C-alpha cells in the first residue's frame, strides 16, 4: 500500500495540506487525531481513556494507534496520506514495514509560531471544520462557515496542553525526520509560507514520486 506522510509540529498545517493533496491525487487522508476524537465522541471505554490522555496533551499508546491505523487502512486500494502518524519511533518502524512509503513532507515551523497558531485555532463543534483566527478566520467570529455549528477551542488547545504537546513533539517526533532523510524520503517545506504556495511545492514534488 502506497503511503505519504505529513510530519510537523502542531499547527504547522499538516491537516490542511494533507486534505489538499488527497483531493489532488485521490489517496485517502487519515488524520489520527480525528480518529481518536471519534472514539471520544462514542463514549466507549477506550474513548474515555483517550479523552484523559489527549486533554493532558500526552500521546496515546503506540499499540492503540497502530491497531487503529491497521483497521482503517486494511480495505484501502490506492494509497494513504497520513497526518499525525507516525509520532514515535515504534510507529515509524511499523510504517516502514507495512507500507510502501513514497514521501514524507516535513512542514517546518518555529515553536513560537506554532504556539501562536494553536492558541488562535477554533473548531466547529458539529462538522469539525478547522479555522484559525489569524490565518483562516471564519466569516462570523463564533460560527462555522459550512454548517450552523458553533466554534470552540479544542480542550488540548489550552495553554498547559499546548506546552505539553509541543514538548512531546520535540521529545518523540521531531527526530523522525532524520530517519526519513537517511532513506531519501524527506522533503522539508517551510510552513511559514501561504497555503497555496506550500501546496504548489508539494504538488510539484509528488508528481515526480508517484508510481506510474
Ligand atoms: P492532533 O489532532 O493531531 O493534534 O492529535 C490530537 C491528540 O491525539 C494528540 O495530542 C495525541 O494525544 C493524540 N495522537 C494523535 N496522533 C497520535 C499518534 N500518532 N500517536 C499517539 N498519540 C496521537
Please tell me the predicted confidence (pLDDT) of residue 26: 96
Question: Nine-digit cell at 34?
Answer: 480525528
CA 174 to centroid of ligand 1, rounded, Å: 14
Please tell me the predicted confidence (pLDDT) of residue 78: 92
Q: Say what the pTM is.
A: 0.92
Please tell me the predicted confidence (pLDDT) of residue 212: 85
Please tell me the predicted confidence (pLDDT) of residue 64: 96
Atom number, ligand 1, closest to the C-alpha of residue 54: 12
**Pocket lined around ligand 1, Cβ cut-off 6 Å:** 10, 32-33, 36, 53-54, 57-60, 65, 84-85, 87, 91, 156, 165
Please tell me the predicted confidence (pLDDT) of residue 158: 87
Q: What is the 3-state secondary structure (H, E, C) of the chain?
A: CEEEEEEECCCCCHHHHHHHHHHHHCCEEEEHHHHHHHHHHHCCHHHHHHHHHHHHCCCCCHHHHHHHHHHHHCCCCCEEEEECCCCCHHHHHHHHHHCEEEEEEEEECCHHHHHHHHHCEEEECCCCCEEECCCECCCECCECCCCCCEEECCHHHCHHHHHHHHHHHHHHHCCHHHHHHHCCCEEEEECCCCHHHHHHHHHHHHHHHCCC
> Mean pLDDT of successive 10-residue segments in the chain (212 residues)?
97 94 97 92 92 94 96 91 98 97 98 93 90 90 94 90 95 97 98 94 97 88
Amino acid at each position: 500500500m502506497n503511503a505519504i506522510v505529513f510530519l510537523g509540529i502542531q499547527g504547522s498545517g499538516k491537516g490542511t495540506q494533507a486534505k489538499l493533496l488527497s483531493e489532488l491525487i485521490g489517496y485517502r487522508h487519515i488524520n489520527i487525531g480525528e480518529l481518536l476524537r471519534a472514539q471520544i465522541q462514542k463514549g466507549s471505554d477506550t474513548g474515555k481513556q483517550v479523552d484523559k490522555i489527549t486533554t493532558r496533551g500526552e500521546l496515546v499508546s503506540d499499540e492503540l494507534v497502530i491497531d487503529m491505523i491497521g483497521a482503517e487502512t486494511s480495505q484501502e486500494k490506492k494509497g494513504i496520506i497520513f497526518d499525525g502518524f507516525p509520532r514515535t519511533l515504534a510507529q515509524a518502524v511499523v510504517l516502514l514495514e507495512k507500507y510502501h512509503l513514497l514521501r514524507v513532507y516535513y512542514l517546518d515551523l518555529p515553536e513560537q509560531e506554532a504556539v501562536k497558531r494553536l492558541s488562535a485555532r477554533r473548531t466547529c463543534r458539529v462538522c469539525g471544520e478547522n479555522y484559525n483566527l489569524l490565518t483562516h478566520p471564519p466569516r462570523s467570529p463564533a460560527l462555522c462557515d459550512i454548517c450552523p455549528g458553533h466554534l470552540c477551542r479544542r480542550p488540548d488547545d489550552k495553554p498547559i496542553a499546548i506546552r505539553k504537546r509541543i514538548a512531546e513533539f520535540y521529545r518523540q517526533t521531531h527526530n523522525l525526520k532524520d530517519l526519513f532523510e537517511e532513506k531519501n524520503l524527506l522533503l522539508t517545506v517551510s510552513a511559514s509560507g501561504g497555503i497555496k504556495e506550500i501546496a504548489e511545492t508539494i504538488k510539484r514534488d509528488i508528481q515526480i514520486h508517484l508510481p506510474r
